[in-house]
């Protein structure tokens, strides 16, 4: 096996001739990545950074057992990746004891000025609360009551904190345990068969006909409920030709596996949720585990499933299981054989989530929101308590809550009371998980529920973003009848911080990418439902071999009134240049895309720490954004709703400058809410009517020219796109990496994909 310290890269494999080769590459690189993370955390701890912190909510005198919720200004690179550890408060020479913290699960919505702050939940011992009482002043009386505006107006009390972080072994241990189970045959026979098939994507032992398992998926007339049947027919009736083809292909699934890659705006998640919905609509019970290793995407998928249930009248509940609370790494081991309750549940601490869940049911407009596990548990408890004649099942919870909140004047031991509540909540959460119809969670959190929730179908979304060992957890720990892997490796790749190990490149290859390279993903979803005006053609030619296509037909669909308005708006931009000289190349009457080329001394680049931003780009974008967002004629397609804007940049400094500018713009709140600002790495899954892409630099780099980042960036717009890109970025004289950006430039310069407006220095002798 390769040494962890070896340097130099080895070309990633798309097929593995045997298990040993797969193990050698993935295990050694995963261990090396953990060592690199440990090194970075050790370095961080040694610097003893101090962070400014505001207290959002604090326990009341009557409920001192509850946690403090803090917002911490994480102004040091990479700290946003840390999930758990210890912190202490610092005020001069005064310090508190070290307290365990976790990242917040329930984000409290505040105004944009808090965007780069991170929520932390921490239990502070009473002695330290007393010691720092003057500093631990909460901003909010109640986390469920948030004022419309909460500005940093000098009245906020801040306190400094120090962190001591520990590298989390959970991800590494889960992945390596999954690999071990699959190789040693501890996993189910079906899981081992899938693993064997995925080595070379050859010679499956079994071909599964999904329609034999769930006949109604093929023939909706087999759905017993007439209302549900009609609702499903309407949903399935909107399948495009690629989605219909992928649907028909479910009659032949090697080892019960379907790989369904797709392009942006192709409805990958919608297709997967609809297949799951059809499987659940029959007479045979069917449970769905929906895995995605991006928390926002897991939230969105669960909400969309609940909305589908409600739309077609299927009486089921989607549950979102967040990160698992209060379980140490040691409980990953499979030591629960013969136990009625798995240790992952017995040792979990659900108290804080349960105590805060009641507010959800007191708010309006939550009908199409999936329940979190805490909310589902509270719902079951509340239903049992108030809607049955003998609510004996959860009497222990009633007693524990009464004791915790009693005001009987006795000397109280809050920690003992909260521990008593923790123990009696375990059976409630067991039932909430076991009886769920649909659970959306991350692959790592799913490991905790494997002995309780037994899915019939596993859907792994955004599979192109997941590392291979993360993907393998789904087949190591569960025994479903079918696996669905959906995603797009052209837009994203698995993330790894380890770059020096000889097999680091292998960690960046997803199972989805290998499946497509080996012809195991023939049914791709490449009909783009998002873009109008031919905007999709540029990314299609660069990244999809020209196969991604629009579902729009004829000028009325390609260029509806709202798109024509934005194309005319683009044509009017030269008129905003004042006395600046400019030249137009390309086609202003074609695809609604325009490159803005500042060059010479019009291009002003600045640094903010280690990141970059362009002054000229920033000024131009903000001028257009402020004008457009206030234009009452700027509409979404269909013309009834106001249009939306997204600003994207590969550089964090640029996005922070845009956030600050929007915050200080004086725009009304409802207009600010229509402006989304994202780095390229956080833009996937988002879309807007008009997108401004700011590439910032005056020369090409591997960061700006990365094909996956550009694929994401160029596929977010529904109606129009503005790219801020200097001609010097694509010039040979500047050097650097510029293959993809040069292609974008040439296609716009020729008029095939848009147009270019070249802006020259005022003092130059320039002729149109």
Instruction: Quote the pTM value.
Output: 0.88
Average pLDDT, stretch 227-238? 96
Q: What is residue 139's predicted lDDT score, i.e. its pLDDT?
A: 81
Phi, psi of 56 (to 5 degrees): -80, -55
Contact 425, 354 (CB under 8 A): yes
Percent of the chain with pLDDT over 70: 86
pLDDT above 90 covers what percent of the chain?
A: 55
pLDDT digits (tens, 9 = 90+) for 556-579: 999 999 999 999 999 999 877 766
**pLDDT score of 4:** 39
- DSSP one-letter code for 668: -
pLDDT given at position 306: 96
CB 524 within 8 A of CB 261: yes
Segment 397-420 mean pLDDT: 77
CA 471/CA 475 separation, integer angstroms: 8
Lowest mean pLDDT among 57-61, 359-363, 740-744, 755-759: 359-363
**Separation in Å, CA 294 to CA 168, 460, 466, 498, 554:** 17, 11, 9, 20, 37
Confidence at residue 110, expressed as pLDDT on a 0 to 100 scale: 61
pLDDT band at 639 (very low <50, low <70, confident <90, very high): confident
Q: State both tokens at 565.
A: 């308005």
Q: What is the mean pLDDT of the chain?
A: 86
| Calpha distance 381→375 (Å, rounded) | 10
Task: Tell me the CA distances in angstroms from 309 to 237, 303, 314, one per residue in order.
Answer: 17, 10, 5
**E strand map for 599-666:** 605-608, 611-614, 645-649
Given a cut of 70, whether residue 399 has pLDDT beyond it is yes
Between the CA of residue 428 and those of 104, 400, 422, what are the distances in Å?
Answer: 23, 13, 11
d(CA 380, CA 302): 19
141 or 39, higher pLDDT: 39
Which carries the bigger pLDDT value, residue 42 or residue 326?
A: 42
Q: DSSP letter at 727?
A: G
How distant is the alpha carbon of residue 340 from its chain centre? 34
Q: What is the pLDDT of residues 612-636, one digit of tens each?
A: 889 889 999 999 999 999 999 999 9
Residue 228 has pLDDT above 90, yes or no: yes
Q: Where are the alpha helices (DSSP H) in 359-394?
A: 373-387
Chain segment 128-137, per-residue pLDDT in tens: 888 888 888 8
Amino acid 637: pLDDT: 94
Smallest Cα–Cα separation from 288: which of 480, 485, 487? Answer: 480
| pLDDT level of residue 532 (50, 70, 90 thresholds) | very high
Residue 2: pLDDT band with limits 50, 70, 90: very low
The encoded tokens of residue 687 equal 């879309």
pLDDT in tens, 55-105: 888 887 777 777 888 888 876 665 656 677 899 999 888 999 999 887 775
Parallel, antiparallel, or unpaired for β 50-57 and 68-73?
Answer: antiparallel
Q: If you search the block for the tokens 């000025």, which residue do you land on?
A: 113
For residue 326, the model assigns a pLDDT of 59
352: left (phi over 0), alpha (psi -120 to 50) or beta: alpha
Tokens (6 digits) for 610: 């280690």
Q: What is the mean pLDDT of residues 649-661?
A: 90
Which of 82-91, 386-395, 418-427, 548-557 is predicted least confidently?
Answer: 386-395
Check the CA dihedral 6-11-14-15 and report its sign. Answer: negative
> How far apart (Å, rounded) are the C-alpha atoms in residues 559 and 552?
9
The arithmetic mean of pLDDT across residues 228-233, rounded, is 97
The two three-digit tokens of residue 312, written as one number: 């077609």
Instruction: Answer with the residue of higher pLDDT: 150 or 71.
Output: 71
- Span 605-617, mean pLDDT? 78
Of 191 and 606, more confident: 191
Report the pLDDT value the prediction gives residue 111, as an integer from 0 to 100.
Answer: 53
Confidence check: pLDDT of 687 > 60: yes
Q: What is the pLDDT of residue 721?
A: 98
Say which range, 297-311, 312-326, 445-459, has the weakest mean pLDDT. 312-326
Q: What's the confidence (pLDDT) of residue 697?
A: 84
Which of the residue ranges 18-27, 108-117, 374-383, 406-415 would you say has the lowest mean pLDDT?
108-117
From CA 651, how far away is CA 601, in angstroms rounded? Answer: 21
Question: Is pLDDT above 50 for 764?
Answer: no
Contact 194, 520 (CB under 8 A): no
Q: Which residue has the tokens 């959860």?
A: 394
**Residue 3: predicted pLDDT:** 39
Half-sphere exposure of 215 (CA within 13 A, CB side): 6
The Cβ of residue 87 has, within 10 Å, a number of other Cβ atoms equal to 22
Q: How far from each other are the two terminal CA atoms of the chain, in whole angstroms?
A: 64
d(CA 713, CA 647): 10
Whether the predicted pLDDT of 332 surpasses 90:
no
The more confidently predicted of residues 410 and 761 is 761
Is there a contact between 383 and 371 (Cβ–Cβ < 8 Å)? no
Nearest-Å Rg of the Cα atoms of the chain is 27
Higher pLDDT, 150 or 23: 23
* 675 SS3 class: strand
- What is the model's pLDDT at position 1? 36
Whether 730 has a pLDDT exceeding 90, the answer reads: no
Q: Which helix (H) or strand (E) holds 302?
A: helix 295-312
- Residue 89 CA to residue 94 CA, distance in Å, equals 8
- Counting Cα atoms < 13 Å in the Cβ hemisphere of 49 gives 19
Within 10 angstroms of residue 435's Cβ, the number of other Cβ atoms is: 14
Q: Per-residue pLDDT tens for 443-458? A: 988 988 998 999 999 9
How many CB atoms are located within 10 Å of the residue 664 CB?
10
Tokens of 623: 């001028």
Whole-angstrom Cα distance, residue 416 to residue 414?
5
Could you tell me the two tokens for 90?
């610092």
Residue 296 banded pLDDT, cuts 50, 70, 90: confident
Furthest CA-CA distance within the chain: 90
Q: Regarding predicted confidence, which is higher, 554 or 607?
A: 554
Output the pLDDT for position 331.
46
């Amino acid at each position: 096996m390769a040494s962890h310290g070896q340097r130099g890269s080895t070309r990633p494999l798309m097929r593995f001739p045997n298990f040993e080769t797969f193990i050698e590459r993935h295990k050694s690189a995963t261990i090396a990545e953990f060592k690199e993370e440990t090194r970075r955390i050790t370095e961080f701890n040694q610097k003893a950074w101090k962070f400014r912190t505001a207290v959002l909510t604090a326990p009341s005198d009557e409920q001192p057992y509850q946690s403090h919720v803090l917002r911490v200004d994480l102004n040091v690179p990479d700290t946003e990746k840390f999930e758990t550890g210890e912190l202490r408060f610092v005020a001069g020479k005064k310090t508190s004891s070290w307290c365990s913290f976790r990242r917040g699960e329930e984000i409290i919505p505040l105004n944009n000025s808090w965007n780069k702050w991170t929520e932390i939940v921490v239990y502070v011992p009473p002695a330290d609360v007393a010691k720092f009482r003057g500093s631990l002043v909460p901003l909010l009386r109640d986390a469920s009551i948030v004022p419309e505006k909460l500005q940093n107006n000098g009245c906020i009390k801040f306190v400094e904190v120090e962190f001591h972080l520990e590298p989390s072994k959970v991800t590494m241990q889960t992945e390596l345990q999954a690999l071990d189970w699959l190789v040693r045959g501890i996993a189910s026979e079906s899981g081992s068969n899938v693993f064997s098939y995925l080595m070379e994507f050859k010679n499956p032992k079994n071909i599964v006909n999904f329609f034999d398992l769930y006949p109604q998926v093929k023939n909706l007339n087999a759905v017993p409920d007439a209302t549900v049947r009609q609702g499903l027919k309407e949903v399935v009736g909107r399948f495009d030709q690629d989605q219909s083809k992928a649907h028909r292909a479910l009659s032949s699934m090697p080892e019960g596996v379907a790989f369904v890659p797709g392009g942006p705006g192709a409805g990958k998640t919608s297709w997967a949720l609809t297949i799951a919905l059809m499987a659940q609509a029959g007479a045979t019970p069917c449970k769905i585990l929906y895995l995605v290793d991006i928390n926002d995407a897991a939230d969105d998928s669960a909400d969309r499933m609940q909305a589908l249930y409600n739309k077609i009248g299927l009486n089921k509940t989607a549950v979102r299981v967040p990160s698992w609370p209060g379980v140490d790494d040691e409980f990953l081991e499979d030591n629960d054989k013969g136990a009625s309750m798995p240790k992952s549940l017995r040792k979990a601490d659900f108290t804080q989530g349960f105590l805060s869940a009641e507010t959800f049911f007191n708010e309006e407009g939550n009908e199409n929101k999936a329940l979190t596990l805490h909310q589902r548990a509270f719902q079951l408890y509340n239903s049992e308590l108030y809607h049955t004649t003998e609510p004996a099942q959860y009497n222990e919870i009633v007693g524990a809550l009464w004791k915790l909140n009693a005001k009987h004047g006795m000397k109280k031991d809050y920690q003992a009371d909260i521990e008593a509540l923790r123990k009696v909540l375990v059976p409630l959460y067991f039932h909430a998980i076991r009886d769920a119809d649909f659970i959306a969670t991350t692959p790592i959190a799913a490991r905790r529920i494997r002995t309780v929730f037994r899915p019939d179908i596993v859907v792994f979304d955004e599979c192109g973003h997941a590392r291979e060992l993360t993907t393998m957890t789904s087949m190591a720990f569960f025994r479903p009848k079918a696996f669905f892997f959906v995603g797009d490796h052209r837009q994203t790749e698995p993330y790894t911080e380890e770059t020096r190990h000889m097999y680091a490149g292998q960690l960046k290859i997803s199972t989805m990418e290998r499946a497509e390279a080996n012809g195991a993903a023939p049914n791709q979803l490449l009909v783009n439902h998002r873009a109008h005006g031919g905007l999709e053609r540029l990314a299609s030619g660069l990244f999809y071999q020209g196969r991604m296509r629009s579902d729009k037909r004829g000028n009325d669909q390609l260029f509806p009134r709202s798109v024509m308005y934005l194309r005319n708006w683009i044509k009017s931009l030269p008129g905003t240049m004042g006395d600046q000289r400019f030249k137009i190349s390309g086609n202003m009457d074609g695809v609604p895309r325009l490159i803005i080329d500042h060059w010479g001394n019009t291009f002003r680049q600045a640094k903010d720490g280690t990141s970059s931003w362009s002054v000229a780009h920033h000024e131009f974008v903000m001028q257009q954004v402020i004008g457009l967002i206030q234009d009452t004629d700027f509409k979404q397609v269909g013309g009834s709703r106001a249009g939306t804007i997204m600003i994207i940049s590969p550089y964090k400094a640029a996005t922070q400058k845009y956030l600050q500018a929007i915050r200080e713009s004086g725009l009304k709140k409802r207009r600010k809410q229509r402006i989304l600002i994202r780095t390229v790495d956080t833009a996937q899954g988002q879309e807007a009517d008009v997108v401004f892409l700011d590439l910032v630099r005056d020369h090409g780099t591997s960061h700006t020219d990365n094909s996956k980042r550009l694929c994401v960036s160029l596929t977010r717009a529904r109606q129009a796109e503005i790219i801020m890109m200097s001609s010097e970025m694509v010039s040979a004289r500047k050097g650097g990496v510029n293959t993809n950006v040069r292609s974008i430039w040439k296609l716009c310069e020729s008029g095939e994909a848009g147009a270019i407006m070249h802006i020259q220095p005022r003092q130059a002798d320039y002729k149109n």
